[in-house]
A and B are shown apart, each in its own frame.
Chain A
Amino acid sequence: MTDTPGAIVWVHGDCLRPTNPALEAYPDAPALFVFDDALLEQYQISLKRIVFMYECLLELPVTIRRGDMTTELLAFAAQHNATRIITTDSPAPHFTAVCKALRKTLPVVVLDEPPFLDYDGELDLGRFSRYWRVAREYAFG
């Protein structure tokens, strides 16, 4: 899958490593990170957090922009004549919302992070102790 015309990779703040699943699967696709102004404002993010993330980004093969996440991603996709957007999964509601907005225009392929637990069964999340009762069997790989 190294030669992938028509795809861009969306790198977001939950996967800032060169080996994240999307970058690894599509190493030749143009990649974009967006500092979302609304998100920075919503969380009232201080400068040191931006500096830290920026230092992470400088080690990745990505274009860095700021603005509205969805708008910038679609503009970047259009610029590269991309027909789909590849990214790495995140549990954040904002991520889900952006995926939904993007899908009005382009398909989005979401690749999973390697699982911490090799386990697909039920987990009681009511308390950590209940989760751990099952998870401990799988947490050591």
Chain B
Amino acid sequence: MRRDFAMRDEMIAYLRAQFPQADARDGHISETRGGRAAAEAALAQVDPPRYAATRNRLNGAVTRLSMYIRHGVLGLAETRDAVLAKVRRRQDAGKLVNELAWRDYWQRLYRKLGDGIWQDREAYKTGLHARDYAADLPADIRDGQTGMACIDAFSSELEETGYLHNHARMWLAAYIVHWRRIQWQAGARWFLQHLLDGDPASNNLSWQWVASTFSHKPYIFNRENLERNTGGVYCRDCPLRGRCDFEGTYEDHADRLFPNVPDRVRDEWQR
């Protein structure tokens, strides 16, 4: 295949022609550049203490290294060493090193489980069976037409940019699995189509963590949590403001979403 391109647009036009099926599935192009030079530029921007303090917020100082690490543009050990070189005390990079360790953990599990990452590792802890969850992703989620400003924005961002903040991934996954009762595999497949950092192990096992097939409780959230961590940008203009499905306490949601969960399983959630 060709290697000589005067401009990025020329390369993109060439790839559209070479991969017409991928283009037809979704022809969006991300602003995020591939390559070692771009990866090193992103690495130079990393601020470990700020990362630790702000990472849960959508506008926090996240590293955006994931796509480079996923494809080995940056080695994992090499990234850790570069991060540690930025701080005087290693605990100042503790959270970031911990997150890099998640990558190591998922990769070790991938080696052990292989394609088993596509199967439920454990039963759902939601009082529901796998068969109670629909197999396919509904079109309104994929098309960003649910009417919920946050969910629709995350859906569009995923397809247009190939990237989502980790918290947005968790909210979107929880919405799909728990509020819509869709099998996590359907959401996992969708993410892998689009995420530049899409790695089958990290992706699927994280979906299983949300779903509760690889954790002791389902991950859920409420509007207050989303509003706080997004600076309110979605809720502010949402047509469903004040009456959306995420209104209420965690207990309200747990009661409504998982009405049949046995007490012994619910007790385990507290563990």
Contact = CB atoms under 8 A, between A and B. Distances in A.
Interface stretch (B25-33, B217-225, B245-253): B25-33
A136 B99 CA distance: 11
Contact of A140 (B75, B90, B102, B109): B90
Contacts of B80: 116, 139-141
Given A13-B71, A35-B19, A55-B33, 12 more contacts: A14-B70, A17-B72, A51-B11, A51-B12, A55-B34, A58-B5, A91-B110, A113-B76, A116-B104, A117-B104, A132-B101, A141-B84
B72 A20 contact: yes
A59 to B, nearest CB: 5
A99 to B, nearest CB: 13
A114 B75 contact: yes
Contacts of A140: 80, 84, 90, 97
Contacts of B54: none
B36 interface: yes
B208 to A, nearest CB: 12
Contacts of B196: 48-49, 52
Given A46-B28, A48-B162, A52-B67, A17 B109 contact: no
Interface in A9-47: 13-20, 35, 40-41, 43-47
Given A56-B71, A116-B76, A117-B104, A45 B22 contact: yes
Given A44-B25, A64-B3, A116 B72 contact: no
8 contacts: A17-B36, A45-B193, A46-B27, A49-B22, A49-B196, A115-B77, A116-B104, A125-B112
Contacts, number: 178
Given A40-B22, A48-B28, A56-B35, A125 B76 contact: no
A46 B72 contact: no
Contacts of A50: 15, 19, 22
B257 interface: no
A135 B97 CA distance: 11
Cβ-closest 10 pairs across A and B: A55-B34, A46-B26, A91-B111, A15-B72, A56-B34, A91-B110, A52-B34, A64-B1, A116-B104, A93-B114
Interface in A49-93: 49-59, 64-66, 88, 91-93
Nearest to B18: A66
B34 A47 contact: no
B109 to A, nearest CB: 5
Interface in A94-141: 96, 113-117, 123, 125, 127-128, 131-132, 135-136, 139-141
B71 A123 contact: no
Contacts of B187: none
A66 B18 CA distance: 9
A40 B19 contact: yes
A47 B5 CA distance: 18
A88 B28 CA distance: 31
A20 B68 CA distance: 13
A117 B32 CA distance: 29
A91 B201 contact: yes
B140 to A, nearest CB: 19
A65 B62 CA distance: 34
A48 B102 contact: no
Given A55-B33, A139-B97, A113 B26 contact: no
B136 interface: no
Contacts of B48: none
B109 A125 contact: yes
